[in-house]
Chains A and B, each alone.
Chain A
Amino acid sequence: MFSLLQQTAPVVVEESETVIITESAEAAGHGADAAHAVAAADAAHGAAGHAASAPGMPQLDFTTFGNQIFWLLVILAVIHWVLSRIALPRIGGVISDRQGAITGDLMAAEEFKQKAKEAEAAYDKALADARAEAGKIVAANKAEIQKELDAAIAHADAEIAARAAESEKRIGEIRASAIEDARNVAREVTAALVENFGGKADQGLVDAAVDQRLKGALQ
């Protein structure tokens, strides 16, 4: 209930919630603008007349109280019904379901963790066992291979010795035949020489002489 008309306006309006501001500084003193201000004041009077029929604040208009209270109670009852019958049990259920699911999942996770630990231990054990087994197999194979190797080496040594002995024998034979050949050649050459000098080659004497001479050279 405040009326505010700039000080230059000719009429003061009371009992009105209407606030009027005129651009007053220029309005002062001008005839046309004075009429202007009067028109504004008349308008304000009209508003004041209108306001007189209703109280200043609609909040204090008691004629609407019954209406507002009635509808408020209806709406509150509806909201309360909807909430208490449908919405709140449902949301509460969802939240507790979620809590249950989270708790269950956490427990399951704990269980899985335990299982994973056991599985890891089993895996480690299996790995260690497999390593030991592999070591054993390697050792066994090594021993077997060593045995075979030894046998093969012995066999090869024996073969080498046999071949060497055979070669020795043949070398001996070749050497013996070479001495004999040289003796025969020497006898024949000596006999031929004697005949060419005009003598009669006595085979027995020539052989003896050649052997005599060869004794020192070939042995």
Chain B
Amino acid sequence: MAEEEAGGLVFHPMDQFVVKPLFGEGPVNWYTPTNATLWMALAALAITALLVFGTRGRAIVPNRVQSIAELLYGMVHKMVEDVTGKDGLKYFPYVMTLFCFILFANFLGLLPKSFSPTSHIAVTAVLAVLVFVGVTVLGFVKNGAHFLGLFWVSSAPLALRPVLAVIELISYFVRPVSHSIRLAGNIMAGHAVIKVFAAFAAIAAIAPVSVVAITAMYGLEVLVALIQAYVFTILTCVYLKDALHPAH
């Protein structure tokens, strides 16, 4: 979104993140369909296309699309099973929902002219808070007061335990913050950097460098899109494991 104005280059690296109504102008009410709505809905459609229509053959020998769907399924399923154990598999659909949503929102956000819902702290914070609240409630429901054993490091010397408990408590409540800001920050920073490089392309002398830099950043962002979805999901699994097996 760089416009070359008289005698200078104007950068609007953050304009791509503006939430605006899809139809016409006006205020953004809570129900207004916006570009954020559109790209989240597209993510849902893409997930449905891959995981539902891609597997409608139910083939024993899968075709390409079904292989990809099974790859995603197998990856998340194995992650949940490895990290949380067999009893965590009950929550596999929820973890899979998170992973698919973040993965597809990230990848769709890489399309030119698109919008990245996961670059918004409002979205990632809701995702993180859902995990945080869900895991905390689950921990107390499953383990009762034993869940507090998560903060009481029984292997440490007795004198140290209260100090450690405070640290553990703080780190527990910082979890949703880091969980959400990590994702939004990565996506936002990558997209903004690409825009800045793109604006430099308006100067003929640096345009080739700019194009190479954009290509490199784009490659990195593809990697980041996958890695951040993976990181968010595996952290969710780790928190889930803490809720199911709070003992240190």
Please report the C-alpha to C-alpha distance between residue A76 and residue B127 in the assembled complex, in whole angstroms.
9
B18 and A54 form a contact (CB under 8 A): yes
The reply on B60 being an interface residue by CB < 8 A is: yes
Q: From B50, which residue of chain A is reached at the shortest CB distance?
A: A87
* B122-136 interface with A by 8 A CB criterion: 122-123, 126-127, 130
A80 and B94 form a contact (CB under 8 A): yes
From B40, B92, B100, give the contact of A72 (CB < 8 A): B40
The reply on A121 being an interface residue by CB < 8 A is: no
Report, as a range, how many residues of chain B touch the other chain: 35 or more
Stretch at the interface among A61-69, A129-137, A140-148: A61-69
The reply on B154 being an interface residue by CB < 8 A is: no
Given contacts A67-B29, A82-B51, A94-B55, contact A75 B93 (CB under 8 A): no
Count of chain A residues near B, Cβ 8 A: 54
Instruction: Tell me the minimal C-beta distance from B228 to chain A in angstroms.
Output: 16
Q: Specify which chain A residues have a CB less than 8 angstroms from the CB of B41 in the assembled complex.
A: 75
Instruction: Tell me the minimal C-beta distance from B7 to chain A in angstroms.
Output: 4
Q: Specify which chain B residues have a CB less than 8 angstroms from the CB of A47 in the assembled complex.
A: 10
Q: Specify which chain B residues have a CB less than 8 angstroms from the CB of A94 in the assembled complex.
A: 55, 58-60, 62, 66, 70
Instruction: Tell me the minimal C-beta distance from B98 to chain A in angstroms.
Output: 8
B7 and A37 form a contact (CB under 8 A): yes
Chain B binding surface, main DSSP class: helix
A83 and B97 form a contact (CB under 8 A): yes
Interface string of A68-87 (1 = CB under 8 A from B): 11111101101110111011
The reply on A57 being an interface residue by CB < 8 A is: yes
From A19, A57, A61, A90, give the contact of B11 (CB < 8 A): A19
The reply on B6 being an interface residue by CB < 8 A is: yes
Q: From A66, which residue of chain B is reached at the shortest CB distance?
A: B30
A71 and B14 form a contact (CB under 8 A): no
Binding site for A on B (CB under 8 A): 5-15, 17-19, 27-34, 36-37, 40-41, 43-44, 47-48, 51-52, 55, 58-60, 62, 66, 69-70, 73-74, 77, 92-94, 96-97, 100-101, 117, 119-123, 126-127, 130, 184, 188, 196, 199
